[in-house]
Amino acid sequence: MASDNAAADKTCAKYLAHYAEPEVLSLTSFPQHLRFVHALVIPAFQESGDFIDRFINSILAEQKCLLIVVLNQPDNELGRQHQQAQIDLAQYIVQQGDLHWQQDSLRLINLARANSRANSAILLVDRYQQSIPPEQGVGLARKIGADLAAKLYLENVIASSWIHSTDADAHLPDNYLTAHLDDNLPCQHGVATCCNFYHYSDEPTVHQANQRYERGLRYYVAGLQYAQSPYAYFTIGSILSFNVLAYCQARGFPKRNAGEDFYLLNKLAKLGKVIYLADVVIKLDARPSQRVPFGTGPAVQSIMQLTEQGQDYQYYHPNIFIELKACLTAFDSLWHYREQPENWLFLLPEKSQQALIDIGLLTFICKQKVAKEAQFNKQLTVWFDSFKTLKFIHALRDLGLENIALEQAIADAPFSSAHQ
């Protein structure tokens, strides 16, 4: 066990030395006597101080949690318009407690004054004065926070090997942190977790649009589970936690303005299991947004526009998941046909044959011809990942299995998404 821990520490140290963001270097003078159990990362742009108030007044603040808040803004006109708001939010956060330590762009605020029962602190990261390249956006903000958490874990300042990633619009339940303690059996066998969730808004049109969007997400994951895909999980940045070793092995969050959660989970799922925590339910404020090019906010905006125009919100045809299931099942025998893959393709429906050719299966087989069966199958699972799965689904859609109204898709599907 000691040798395993030493190897893990070496892997994390190598990642931090070569791939971590420069903010990590500012931790050299961090007070080493401080001890926290948990690390929670929240990027914030165009946010009020409500999420800070919620944390301070929650039971989470009594569980030795270091809340790492990355105040970020893009280096463009939108960012410059909101810089004063970021300055005001930083000032508000600092006022909630006592400044315990400061170095470069980092400030540590003790929260005992704000809540007499609190044994937690906020590590405030200033990335609004040194703004973030727009194309790197929230992905870089999350990476900065998670890199800092990984470094503090390696320095034994943080005890738990789980890094929690969420957003300012998330209302975290009381069992959010404790569900990831080392004695929780499901988490012991995973590299990442996705919590349960629901969206809510007091505004009826926004609430209904979010509910439709959420039903689509649950339908999609249920379809992947029905097909027995190893990549059947939710890709929402605000419900994600991950093991620090796996995070370092995956080389951290990709620096992207959107989809950073999708691409990180895609890498993590190749290292181990992504566990779904059905009993840890996060409430997400439902709100339309155009801060990122795709994701929840823009999707909700689009659904609201469709509703106004009297049009259906359309989603993937359920037959796509039937074909995906047949394809994944047939993969078990593909190695035996590697010299003549066209004979294997004939076992599949015609659209699936073409879809697999379109996404590059024949090129993969050509590269893996000399591999042993076990290695071939392992590489096939890595190759046909969540990104390739989505490309396969889109290829089937473009080949004639066109999107249909979401409610019709749910009604016709041979699987239930009600409990996802």
% of residues, the chain, pLDDT over 70: 95
Q: What is the pLDDT, as a whole number, of residue 1? A: 46
Alpha carbon distance 364, 381 (integer Å): 11
Residues 355-374: what's their mean pLDDT? 96
Q: What is the pLDDT, as a whole number, of residue 418? A: 62
Average pLDDT of the chain to the nearest whole number: 93
Residue 29, Cβ neighbours under 10 Å: how many? 11
Q: What is the pLDDT, as a whole number, of residue 299? A: 82
* Residues 272-312 pLDDT 10s: 999 999 999 999 987 665 554 456 777 888 888 888 888 88
Q: What DSSP line would sit under 143-194, residue for residue?
A: HHHHHHHHHHHHTTSB--SEEEE--TTEE--TTTTGGGSTT-HHHHTEEEEE
Residue 31 φ/ψ, nearest 5 degrees: -60, 110
2-190+234-276 to CATH, choices 3.30.1360, 3.90.550, 3.40.1000, 1.10.1760 = 3.90.550
Torsion region of 310: left, alpha or beta (phi above 0 gives left; psi -120 to 50 gives alpha): left
* Residues 122-131 pLDDT 10s: 999 999 999 9
Statement: residue 189 has pLDDT above 70: yes
Residue 157 φ/ψ, nearest 5 degrees: -80, -35
Using DSSP, state whether 73 is helix, strand or coil.
strand
Asked if residue 351 lies in contact with residue 324, where contact means CB atoms within 8 angstroms, the answer is no
Q: What is the pLDDT, as a whole number, of residue 344? A: 97
Let me know how long the chain is. Answer: 420
Residues 231-247: what's their mean pLDDT? 95
Nearest to 206 by CA among 295, 290, 281, 305: 305
Sign of CA dihedral 42, 46, 51, 52: positive
Q: Angle formed by the axes of helices 318-330 and 386-398, to 10°? A: 130
Sign of CA dihedral 147, 150, 156, 162: positive
Cα–Cα separations (whole angstroms), residue 117 to 58, 110, 380:
10, 12, 51
Alpha carbon distance 42, 165 (integer Å): 6
Half-sphere exposure of 280 (CA within 13 A, CB side): 23
Domain boundaries, the chain: 2-190+234-276, 317-402
Q: Among 55-64, 85-94, 205-214, 317-326, name the one with the lowest average pLDDT.
A: 205-214
Residues 24-44: what's their mean pLDDT? 96
Residue 299 φ/ψ, nearest 5 degrees: -65, -45
* Residues 101-121 pLDDT 10s: 999 999 999 998 888 899 999
* CB neighbour list of residue 17: distance below 8 Å, 6 or more residues apart: none
Q: What is the pLDDT, as a whole number, of residue 293? A: 44
Alpha carbon distance 232, 268 (integer Å): 13
CA dihedral 201, 206, 207, 212 (to 10 degrees): -150
Sign of CA dihedral 302, 241, 51, 221: positive
Q: What is the pLDDT, as a whole number, of residue 6? A: 86
> Model pTM?
0.93
Nearest to 51 by CA among 141, 214, 178, 167: 167
